[in-house]
Amino acid sequence: MAKKMFSPEELEELRKADEEIDDDFSLDDDDRALSRNLENEAIHDRLDHRYTGLRKWRIRYYDTHREEILAKSRSYYRANPVRIRIRKAKHREASAEKIADYRAKYYQENREKELSYAAAYREENREVIRSLSAVRYDKDKERDKKARYREKHRDKVAARQKAYRESHREVLAEKQAVYREEHRESILAQQAEYRKENREKINADRRERYQARREQELAQAAAYREANRETLRARAAIYREKNREKIRERNAARRAAKKAASDDEKRRESGNKEEL
C-alpha cells in the first residue's frame, strides 16, 4: 500500500500558502517582457534547430524584401477584390463581438486624438466632402437603411439610447430647456396648430384614458383632498380674497343665466297651456 506524502492538515497549510503567494504576486511590464523572452527561448530550445533557422531566415528575408512583398500584396488585392471582400466579410461576421469590443476600447483610449484628427480632416477637405456627399447621398436610401438597421437591432439600439440618456441626463435637460426658451413662440404655435388639426383625436384619446383610469384617479383625488384638507381650504380662502370681484361677477352671471333659463321654461309651459 502506497504511503501518503502529506496529511490533510499539511495539504490545507500548503493551499493557504499558495493563496497568500497568489494574492501578493504581481508583474510589471518589464517582468512580462522578460517572461515572454524566456518563454520564446524555451520554445526555441524545444523546437527543431532547422525550424528555428527557417523562422529567422523568413524574418531576415521580409526585412530585406519589404517593398517587393508589399507590391505583390497590393497587386493580389487588385486582382482578387471579390475573393478578399468575401473573406473579410466572413471574418467580420465570425468575429463581430471581438471587433466591436476592440473598436470600443480603442476609441475610448484614443477619443481626443480621433476627434481632433476628424475635425482637422473635415476642415482641410470641406469642399471635397461636400461634393462627394452630394453625389453619393441618397436621402430615401439612407432613411431605408437606417430604418432596417433599427428594426434589426431594436433591443440593442434601445439599450444604447437608454444608457446614453441616463449618463447624460443633466446635459440633455439643460439643452432642452435652452432650446425651448429660444424657440418658445414657434413651439407654442406648433402645439396650437397640432391641437387644432387633431382636436377630435386628442379628445377621444383623453376620454379613453380617463375612462380607463377613472376609478384610480378619483381615488387618488379623494385621498389627496383628505390628506391636504387644511392646505386646500387655506388656498381657497386666499383665492377668494384675491378674486372677490371676479367671483362675484361670475356668480351673478350664473344666477342670471339660471334665471333666464327658468323664465324661458315658464314661458314655454304657459304657451303650451294656452294652446291646450
Please report the pLDDT score of residue 3 as a whole number. Answer: 45
Question: CB–CB of 125/132 below 8 Å?
Answer: no
The Cα 99–Cα 92 span in angstroms is 7
Please report the pLDDT score of residue 197 as a whole number. Answer: 92
Please report the pLDDT score of residue 2 as a whole number. Answer: 42
Question: CB–CB of 44/36 below 8 Å?
Answer: no
The Cα 37–Cα 58 span in angstroms is 19
Please report the pLDDT score of residue 121 as a whole number. Answer: 86
69's CB contacts (< 8 A; 6+ apart) are: 62
Maximum C-alpha span of the chain: 132
Please report the pLDDT score of residue 59 as a whole number. Answer: 82
**Domain regions of the chain by residue span:** 38-79, 149-191, 198-247
129's CB contacts (< 8 A; 6+ apart) are: 122
Alpha helices in 25-48 (DSSP H): 29-46
2 three-state secondary structure: coil
Q: What is the mean pLDDT of each run of 10 residues along the chain (276 residues)?
A: 57 67 57 68 64 78 87 86 86 85 84 85 83 68 84 88 89 90 91 91 88 86 90 90 89 89 81 65
The Cα 117–Cα 112 span in angstroms is 8
Question: Judging by beta carbons within 10 Å of its beta carbon (0-12, 13-18, 19+), is residue 218 exposed, middle or buried?
Answer: exposed
pTM: 0.30
Please report the pLDDT score of residue 1 as a whole number. Answer: 41
Length of the chain counted residue by residue = 276
CA 164 to chain centroid, in Å, comes to 4
CA angle in degrees (0–180, nearest 5) for 56-57-61: 120
End-to-end CA distance of the chain: give it in Å, rounded.
Answer: 130
Please report the pLDDT score of residue 267 as a whole number. Answer: 80
